[in-house]
Each structure stands twice: as structure tokens, then as C-alpha cells.
Structure 1
Amino acid sequence: MPASGEKNTSPIVPSRRQVLLGGAALGATALTATGLTALGPAARAATAQGAGAPLRGDVFTLGVASGEPDHHSVVLWTRLAPDPLAEDGLGGLGRRTVTVQWELARDERFRHVVRRGVETTDAEAGYAVHVEVAGLAPGREYFYRFRCGRFLSPTGRTRTAPAPGALGAGMVMAFASCSQYEHGYFTAYRHLAEDEPDLVLHLGDYVYEYRADSYVSPDGNVRDHRGPETETLANYRQRYAQYRADTDLQAAHAAAPWLVVPDDHEVDNNWAGDVYEKPEIPQPDFETRRANAFRAYYENMPLRRRNRPRGSHIQLYRTVSWGALVNFHMLDTRQYRDDQACGDGWKVCEDAVDPARSLTGDDQERWLLGQFRRSRARWDLLGQQVFFARRVNGSGAVSMDAWDGYRGSQDRISEGWVDAGVRNPVVLTGDVHTHWANELKADYADPDSPVIGTELVTSSITSGGNGADSDPAEHPDLRRNPHIKFRNNQRGYVRTRISREELRADFRVVDYVTEPGAPVRTRASFVVADRHPGLTEVSPR
């Protein structure tokens, strides 16, 4: 397997195995006469018209992606960039209008095409393409690709959700977060693709904003960010292109549809609402920086048109249903929160328990509590960014950046799912660069208090460097917080298998990220049984 970021110029062989690996490492290939003919006269005319000078070089260097599936539609995405690291953020295309064709088929050889169309993109859109394909069959696997000029994109695999009310045969869902490009190779993304999930959730810190070598892992940085700390639109576009050009990340995107939410590093470390990381150091215009960051985030993610940002605001909290089996409630815990109490960090802080302080903001909180009351799903999963369970360190302090720093929000949300009778609430979390498995309690001060939910926390893809394995039972965090059942400080992701009867979580790890090609293994597995919140450890497989 080539090292992450290297280009493999082998021709595309349209096998299922390569599709499930994204076809990303294979790069784009020149459009054949047969492929062009298959598009029909209108598409051939659009291709011939192009827009200005002929395209030179592979325009599909950033791969393909899909997302936001429901029972009859899905979003298809690509972004054109023959020169991904161009400083102006326009990928070497300058200012022009470019025509792109797309196809969606029932098979990876595109013998049974069910939808096709033509889109245009330009510099204003960052040369991104978002296609919302509707009229599809529920619970169906599809394959898609793009063409531009003489270039053909890699093939992606996607699927629609089951029909409303259908429990189906279950699903495989993987979730990940925190991929600091400088800290290591994205090998875990490649293994995530090989697991062939039905759906992927990314819970934030997809890119990092720092200039090269300003955030150094304990193992040293193995590759460098291009450009300064991201502030301008060109900066953010260039940074996303650098990450998106990584072939392991491309494989993960091409393997399944994604649901995404950002955390802090897509904008600025530990930002909160209108407050940036270090308010004591004046920043020229944080509102403009936020607007630039959100615009680039939208351009680079398979989101729907309704998620398009408006200035410095982007609407991202939403519920996506997988039939009657799962409701995925995707939260935004940055844009509407009050500033972190007591100056941020780990503190013993009276303001943290002020019930008036909010992590979600009032509107998002009302929306989520309403979703709980309306839910009839077997499982309700909260896709969100920061640690939810109570976690006290040796000094009795808690993290001001996590839900512990917003005790009122923490209590209202957990009490809300209890009062609504949510059948199986499970919180999915990123941010902390460590695997955790937590039981959520009605009263953390009482060891005999009922377990009212479960939290699964994914480690980082690379952030923090290699990390290290250890015996979870020996870690002081578990002794101080008996509701925490597992901790592991290696890099990886979480794979879940969700059925009517149970949710099984496999904590997947790689032993190193400072070199490419590390093997993957399951470090621990836990089961949450239907109507029985809490964790039962089972043998990994």
C-alpha cells in the first residue's frame, strides 16, 4: 500500500474491493471514448463546451464523497484541484467555470445507471460540487463517479437509509475524530474503509488550523502543514485540500456516506460562540474568520444546500434517521455555547454549575428535547464533540471545555431523554484523543444511582502521535470515576454494529502513526443491550 499522500498511478480496475477502499489511491484516469459515449449527447456537448482553456492535469486529486443519506436521497461531492496546495486556495484553476458530469449506478461497473446529470462549479464555490440525488430506492447500495473534461474520478460507494418505520437487518456505523495531519499518517482511515461500514460519523477536528510546527506531538511531527495559521478563505481552502489529498482519507470517504459536525480546530482552538481562543490577544476580525472557516467547511463536506453557511453562521444540528432503527442527532457544541468558565482548562469552578450557562444554546436544546419526545427509534445516538460523562481528576477538577463545564446543559439533556422515555440513548464523542467507554448516571455522586445512558468516545486518528497501550484497570481515572469502564490512549476509531437487540462497539487501534501502514486490531469490545443502558465487555472479534 502506498504511503499516505503518495499517488498510485495504476489504472482503475472496477472491483468491489477497490471500490470499498475508495479507489482513492488509484487517482483519476483519462476519460475513455466508451465512457464519454455512455453519457449521451447532452453531456458530451457540456463536456465539449467546458469553460475556457483546456484542463491540464488530474482535477480529481481530492477524491469523492457522499453524505446525508435518507431513505430516498443522498449528497454526492467532489472538489476540483489539479494543484491542491495552490496558495490562493483555488487548486490551480484560477477563475473559470467548469462543467462536471456525474453518474449514480446500482453496480460498480456502471452497467445499471439510475441517475446522471451535469453540474457547473467555479471559483466562488471553491470548485466544489454538491449534488443532491433524489428518487432513489430505500436501503439500497449505489456507486457513483464524476467526469470533467477528459478525466474520470475514482468510484465511490454510498447507500440510502431504510424506509421510515423499517428496522431492517441492522447496520455497521463507524465514527472518528481528530486527524492532525502533522502528527501522523491517516492509516486508521484506511482501515475504517476496509471495515465496509454503512455509515461514517465524523465528530470534529477534521483539519487543524495551526501553522507548521506550532503544535508538535510527543513523537515529533512527521509531515508539515502548508501555509500560515488558517484565517483567510484561501488559507482554509488550501488546508482542506492538503488533508483531502491524503489517499487514506479519500478511501474512508469513498467507502460510505458520512455525517459530519465540526469541533474547534476547524475554526480556532477551544473557541466558544463569539469568543476566540485567546481573547486577551486582539484578533482583527473573528467574525470574518468564522465566516471563512464555515464557508470552507461547507465546500469540503458532503452537506445539503440547506447547510450552506450565511456569513459567520452555519446550521448543522439535525436528525438523520436510519429507518426505525436509529436516530442520529448531530449536535453543534461550539457555535452557541457560553464562553468556558474560569478561563478554561481543568478547574474547580463554581460558575461551571450555574444552570443558566449553556453548551448548546437555548434553541438547540429545545430542538433536541423535542426530538427525544418525538422519537420512536430503537436507538437514539447523539453525534457530538466533547466529553459528556462526569470526569474528575486527582485535584477534584473537571474540564471547562466539556459538558462538565456546563452542568446545567449536562443535566437537562440527560434528564430530557429520561423524561421522554428514550429507549436506548447513546452519546458518541470525539475531541479527547483517547478511547473511553462510560456509563451515564442519574447522580454521579451516588455509586448506586441508576445508569441512564451510555457514552462511547473515539480516540483520534492521529492527534497526539502514537500514544501507548496500558491496562485500563490501572488508570487512576477509572478508580476516581467508577462509571468509566474503559480507557485506551492509542490512535484509531470506533466501529459499531447496531441491531434490534444490541449495539456492539469495537474500539479499533493502530500501534503507531508516525510511519504508514500500521495494522489494526480491536483493543476492546462492549455491548449495550436493548433497554439496558450500560456496558458489558465481550471478547473482541
Structure 2
Amino acid sequence: MGLGVLAVAVAAALAGNPFSLGVAAGEITTNTAFLWGHATPGPVRLEVARDTRFRRLVLGRNARADAKRDGTIHVRVAALLPGRTYFYRFVRGRTASAIGRFATAPQPARAVTVRFAVSGDADATPAPGTSGPVYNHFEVYSRMAAERNAFNINLGDTIYSDSEVAGTPVALTFAAKWAKYRLNLSLPALQRLRGSTGIYSHWDDHEFVNDFSVPEFGDDLYKAGAEAFLDYAPVTYSSARGLYRTFRWGRNLELFFLDERSFRSAKETAGGTCDNGGAPDLAPTAPAAVRAAFAALVPSLATPPPAACVERIRDPSRTMLGESQFTRFTEAIARSNATFKVIVNEVPIQQFYALPYDRWEGYEAERKKLILFLKSNVSNAIFLTTDTHANFVNDVRLQTLEPGGPMDSGITEVITGPVATKTFADEIDAVTGKPGSGILVSGLFFRPAPPRGVGMRCVAPKVYSYAEVSVTTTTLTVTEKDAAGHVVTDVAGQPCPPVVMQSSAR
């Protein structure tokens, strides 16, 4: 247990308050919600009301803080009214938890403006021997809460089982992962985010370990990571569907959450297939001219990538989603009559070549299959993504620098974050061993238009950030913002322009 978590627990115990770590309302629909709390083990009572003083009580239910689930409380409530604001709390005796707030979704036929924010990648780990977090105090989460949105999304790496903070142990067991969740939730900003409005929570790899897949790391680690996540996040999960689910918000918006960990094939790097100079090749699918241009910065690029590596990247038998999820998702999004379809995506699908192995680029055949399906069958779709620790915006191209030139899909991806961990620029610096190389690569390769680069519309690889989204009847707008709520500035020194998508009928 981190010192910050210990201090919170001790303070609560001394005050006689059994509740700690805030509250949360997840999986919001028109008439249901999944409510979460945390307390010392034992019985509690849930109260749901239309006012903050709980005089207009609409629901009361007995529940329990479960010792087998680290004192977490989980209650699903139904028979709520669409488009209404509710307040909730847990009570034991005369002591109550923090008060949470959420709004139910409007009915599918109602055309209302919906606003929400998304970010992810948050690590509150302190340096060994210290008590405060290394990176920051989750100021991004505070700003997201301050937007007063209909809901927010905490997308991936909601803990770091294997923190990038040097000298810290890897959390591999239930107990160790529980401690990571308590550590993050000891920061008031995360409690504020989860309690201020509805929250959709989703995992990525660090809830397990970095670049996780079941074939590479095994069922036991998957079980520990999944169950600890389910204890601390109010989400819906099944072994058949994983975390795949959809949520409708009126006529204008439907959300599609993809599970990109439960069913994926092993990465192509398994068994050292992609090693070049003792480590995985930095850009195995980049054209030879691009590799040659950056060989002075990364000497291993002067050597061609292993042919077996490139073959495995393109292998059509390898999958990111698994066949069942791919079918379920594509059928659902094709029949959706929502004006805008937001694909909540754990790992990037746009093409930028550098270290592609854990991203959609590392599963190239399925990536192209999905892009072609969406291009042909779905209008007004957009990918919202975290994972990369940067702000990158671009078309989800079928190809960019390959022979024949760029092939746009007309579908945009917005990558945002992180909340609190190493930024993309810092990670590239660590790979190359040369400070400043992350900014240099971003400016020289990610921003210039093809064929000199990949032509991203926003390139901001060194800023803690989130994406603020507004959806109306005719327009979806995404604005990348920093921890102070200001528009993110890219490597060229200019504000990243908002992504504005006008509705169109197919």
C-alpha cells in the first residue's frame, strides 16, 4: 500500500468513517446505472434521490462492502427515468459516503446535445522512499470533471501494474493490483471525476502488464487483472464478450467500446521474431527510404527488418478483436441509426509506423479489413483512443507511404492523453538514448504530409491532456485540451485545430 493510501485509510479509521475512495456511477443507460462505493467490510444501504439532501428519495437498497472484493460495493439500479439527474450515496448507521451524481441517457429518439471527455493512462506511483506521485496529481481528471459533461470516459491504463517509475515492483496478484487501484483513488482528482457525473471505465494493457495478450502472459495474469479491474470499476463483463459493449445517448450518439486485450493473438514480437540489433525493430513496416533517413538517429534502422517479422504483421490469421467480437461490432455499428458513432478504442488504428507491435498496425490484415468495412458500410464514425501518451490526429488510412501513395478512409482518429505517466516524447528519448529525439521525430516525420511524413493534423507528444467532445444533431466536435483546460499546442507551436465532423447520410 502506498503511503498516500495508507494515510487516507488511517484518517478514515480515526474519524470513524467506514467509507473511503469516493463513489462512481457507470454503465449509464436511459433507465439503469451501475453504482460503486468502498467501505470497511459489512452491510451498507444505498440511497438514490433527485436532490442533494435526499428528501426526494427514489430508491433505497441494502448492499454490502465485500471483503472478498477488497471492500468494494456494487449495486445495479433500474427503473430510472430517461434524461434525469440523480444523486446517490451509501450509508452505514449515521455515517454516509461522498455524494455522487449522474444523469441518465436521453431516449434514442431525442435529439439533444451531448458533451463528454475522454483520457487515460494514469499512474500515481511515488518514487521509492517518497509519498507523493512522481508525475502529477491527476490534474487532467480535475479538468475533465470541471467540464460538467453528461459523462466522461476513463480509457485504459487506469492503473500501472508495471509502473515506469524506476525501482517499483510489478503488481501481479489480486492484492497487489487492488493496492494500485487504492493508490490512484487516494488522489482527490480521480474521486472527483468518478463522482461528478457518469463514468465509463475501460481497460488496456497495464491493468495486466505492458503489451498484454493472453497467449503471451497466460490465463492467471488475465484473471488477476480482469477481476481486480472489475472490483474497482463499475463495468459490465462476460467471458464471451469481454468488455465489448455499446451505449446509446439520444438520436445523435452511440458509443462502441472495443475489447482489444481479451481475444487478441500474440504480438509478432513473441519469440524474438522482430529483433533487430538485440531489440524489436523500431519501424519494421516503414519504407526503406524512411528507415534510411532516420538511421543516424536510430542506427538499427540501417539494417533491414527481419522478413519473418513483416510476414507475421501481415498474417491474416492473426486478430486483435477475435472473430466473434469483430462480427458483433461490425453488425452493430452498421445497423446503428445514431447520427454519430464513436468507437472507443484502446490502441491506435491510424498509421505512424514507429513501434507498431501492440497497436492495430501490428495486426495489419484485420486493421485493413475493419477500415474497409467501416468505409463501405458506416457513416459518421470516429475513433477516440488513448494508449500512446500523445495527441495525434489523422485519417485512418489504408496506407500512407507504401507504393501507390496515401489511401484515405475518410474516418478520423483522435488520440489523447496521458493523464500521468511518461509522454510519448519521453519514451522515444528513452528508446534512442538521445534527449529531444521524441520531439525531433514528431516534427520531422509525424507532421509533414506524405511522402515526407504521415501528415498528422495534430502532433503534440509531450503534454498531459484529454479530448473534449460535443455532439449535436449536425456536428461532432473534438477539442484536445491540456491539464489547465487550454487547447493543446502542437510541435509547430500552433494550437491543434478542433476536429469537426458534419453529419452525412450514407
Q: Does 1:107 align with 2:41?
A: no
**What is the distance in 2 between the residues matched to 1:477 and 1:465?**
16
Aligned to 1:503: 476
- Counterpart among 385, 388, 396 of residue 429 in structure 1: 385
Distance 1:439 1:171 in 2: 24
Retained in 1: the 8 A contact 2:351–2:399? no
Structure 2 vs 1, CA of residues 314 and 417 (structure 1 numbering), >3 Å: closer, same or farther?
closer
**8 A contact 1:209–1:229 mirrored in 2:** yes
Q: Specify which structure has the higher proportion of helix.
A: 2
What residue number does 1:323 align with?
A: 250
Pick from 183, 204, 229 the counterpart of residue 156 of structure 2: 204
DSSP-derived class of the 2:487 partner? strand
Offset of residue 208 of structure 1: 0.6
1:522 maps to which residue?
A: 487
Decide whether the 8 Å contact of 2:419 with 2:465 is kept in 1: yes
Q: Distance in 2 between the 1:318 and 1:197 partners?
A: 21
- Cα distance in 1 for residues equivalent to 2:312 and 2:92: 55
Q: Is the 8 A contact 1:294 1:314 kept in 2?
A: no
Q: 2:305 maps to which residue?
A: none
Q: Pairwise mapping of residues 225-304 of structure 1 onto structure 2 (< 5 A)? A: 228-276=169-217, 286-304=218-236
More moved, 440-449 vs 462-471: 462-471
Instruction: State TM-score, norm by structure 1.
Output: 0.74
RMSD of aligned Cα (Å): 2.9
Partner Cα separation in structure 2 for residue 177 and residue 475 of structure 1: 27
> Which whole-Å CA distance do the structure 1 matches of 2:137 and 2:247 have between them?
31
| In structure 1, C-alpha distance between the alignment counterparts of 2:226 and 2:413, rounded to whole Å | 28
Distance 1:411 1:431 in 2: 20
Aligned to 1:402: 359
Cα offset for 1:476? 2.2
2:314 corresponding residue in structure 1: 353
**In structure 1, how many angstroms separate the alpha carbons of the residues matched to 2:363 and 2:71?**
40
Q: Is the 8 A contact 1:372 1:416 kept in 2?
A: no
The structural deviation recorded for 1:150 is 3.4
Structure 2 CA distance for aligned equivalents of residues 136 and 435 of structure 1: 37
Residue among 71, 78, 101 paired with 2:37: 78
* Aligned position for 1:513: none
Unmatched 5+ residue regions in structure 1? 9-26, 29-53, 82-92, 277-285, 511-518, 534-541
Distance 1:129 1:320 in 2: 23
Distance 1:373 1:249 in 2: 35
Cα shift at 1:250: 0.4
The aligned counterpart of 1:373 is 334
The CA deviation at 1:56 is: 7.2
Matches of 1:336 and 1:249 in 2, distance apart? 29
Distance 1:131 1:347, change over 3 A: same
2:428 is aligned with 1:487: no
Give, as a single letter, the amino acid of the residue that structure 1 aligns with 2:350.
A
In structure 1, the residue matched to 2:301 is none
User: AA paired with 2:156?
Assistant: G
Alignment check: 8 A CA contact 1:467 1:490 kept: no
Question: How much has 1:166 moved relative to structure 2?
Answer: 2.0
User: 2:396 corresponds to which residue?
Assistant: 440
Matched, 1:155 2:99: yes
1:56–1:378: structure 2 CA closer, same or farther, 3 Å change rule? same
Q: Secondary structure at the match of 2:486?
A: strand
Q: Aligned letter for 1:61?
A: S
Determine helix, strand or coil for the equivalent of 1:487: strand
CA shift for structure 1 position 7: 8.4
The structure-2 alpha-carbon separation of the partners of 1:244 and 1:373, relative to structure 1 and needing over 3 Å to count, comes to same
> Is the alpha carbon distance of 1:196 and 1:470 closer, same or farther for their aligned partners in structure 2, counting shifts above 3 Å?
farther
Secondary structure, aligned partner of 2:382 = strand
Secondary structure at the residue paired with 2:224? helix
Contact 1:472 1:478 in 2 (8 A): no
Compute the displacement of 1:466 (Å). 11
Contact 2:389 2:423 (C-alpha < 8 Å) held by counterparts: no
* Cα deviation 1:82-132 (Å, max 9, x = unaligned): xxxxxxxxxxx5xxxx11111112222323222221112321232211111
Q: Note if contact 1:504-1:525 (Cα within 8 Å) is conserved in structure 2.
A: no
Equivalent residues in 2 for 1:467-486 (5 A)?
A: 474-479=443-448, 480-486=452-458
**Pairwise CA distance, 1:532:** 6.3
How far off its partner does 1:184 sit?
A: 2.5
Between 378-387 and 447-456, report the one with greater CA deviation. 447-456
Match of 1:69 among 21, 28, 32: 28
Q: 1:304-315, aligned counterparts within 5 Å?
A: 304=236, 307=237, 315=242
Amino acid at match of 1:268: V
Q: Is the 8 A contact 2:164 2:421 kept in 1?
A: no
1:373 Cα deviation after fit:
2.2
Q: Distance in 1 between matches of 2:18 and 2:444?
A: 49
1:142 alignment counterpart:
86
Alignment of 1:527-538 (within 5 A): 527-531=499-503
Count of residue pairs brought into register by the alignment: 434
Distance 1:485 1:501 in 2: 22
Aligned to 2:296: none
**SS state at 2:226 partner:** helix
- In the alignment, which residue of structure 2 is the partner of 1:514? none
Separation of aligned partners in 2, 1:184 and 1:355: 42
Partner AA of 2:248 in structure 1: S
SS for the counterpart of 1:293 is helix
Letter in 1 for 2:164: Y
Structure 2 distance, partners of 1:151, 1:531, is 49
Name the SS for the 1:275 alignment partner. Answer: helix
